[in-house]
């Protein structure tokens, strides 16, 4: 994706640049943070080899093309490495990496207050906010939190019941054990009965 973004910059493809930026942010939040590596999970060393190499190669790409750093910085990748790859695996994974990258992740790790697992959720939230998922364009100017001026006067007020001419699922009907049919006694068949309410009957949902 970073290579595609670099190509889009070369070609002046403004629309594609914005789309790739959003795609990268969503990949980080939804794919890279899919697992919490600090829990008692079954993630193997192979998983962390892949994640380590992925982040390091991205760091190299950003180092070579500063235009990419408009959307994802070198510091972002260092932070991702610290939180996505447990410290216990570093000695086996970073031996052939650039010295500057190794120095940066070590300094970032040393500056953490506490342990990475204690701040993992906070870091995820930071990257998830960049995706803007759930924020539609039409919501930006219309959605605002309720204040004392905009809140309803009656906090207990409820909207009027909706009138729907749709079936209502009634609770299952219990079968009696005194039935004359042995098969019905053994199987205890329970049925659900759909009853259509009168047109004028309100349904409170």
Residue 187 in tokens? 């199987």
The pTM assigned to this predicted structure is 0.64
**111-153: pLDDT as tens digits:** 988 888 888 999 999 999 888 887 666 766 654 554 445 444 5
Determine the Cα–Cα distance for residues 31 and 11; give it in Å rounded to an integer: 28
For residues 105 and 78, the answer to whether their CB atoms sit within 8 Å is yes
10 Å CB burial of residue 5 (0-12, 13-18, 19+) is buried
pLDDT-derived band at 171 (thresholds 50, 70, 90) equals: very low
Determine the Cα–Cα distance for residues 130 and 21; give it in Å rounded to an integer: 10
CA distances from 174 to 168, 182, 195 (A): 18, 16, 17
Residue 162: closest CA among 201, 106, 116, 105: 201
**48-82: pLDDT as tens digits:** 999 999 999 999 999 999 999 988 999 999 999 99
Residue 133 in tokens? 């998922």
């Amino acid at each position: 994706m970073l290579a595609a973004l670099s190509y889009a910059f070369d070609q002046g493809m403004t629309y594609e640049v914005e789309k790739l930026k959003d795609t990268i942010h969503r990949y980080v939040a939804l794919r890279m943070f899919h697992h919490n590596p600090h829990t008692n999970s079954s993630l193997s060393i192979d998983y962390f080899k892949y994640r380590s190499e992925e982040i390091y190669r991205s760091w190299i790409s950003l180092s070579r093309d500063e235009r990419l750093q408009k959307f994802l910085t070198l510091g972002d990748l260092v932070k991702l490495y610290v939180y996505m790859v447990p410290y216990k695996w570093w000695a086996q994974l970073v031996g052939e990496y650039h010295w500057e990258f190794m120095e940066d992740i070590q300094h970032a790790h040393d500056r953490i207050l506490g342990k990475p697992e204690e701040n993992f959720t906070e870091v995820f939230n930071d990257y998830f906010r960049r995706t803007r998922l759930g924020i539609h364009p039409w919501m930006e100017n219309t959605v605002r939190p309720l204040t004392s001026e905009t809140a309803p006067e009656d906090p207990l007020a409820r909207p009027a019941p909706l009138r729907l001419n749709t079936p209502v699922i009634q609770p299952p009907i219990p079968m009696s054990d005194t039935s004359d049919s042995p098969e019905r006694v053994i199987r205890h068949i329970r049925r659900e009965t759909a009853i259509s309410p009168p047109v004028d009957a309100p349904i409170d949902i």
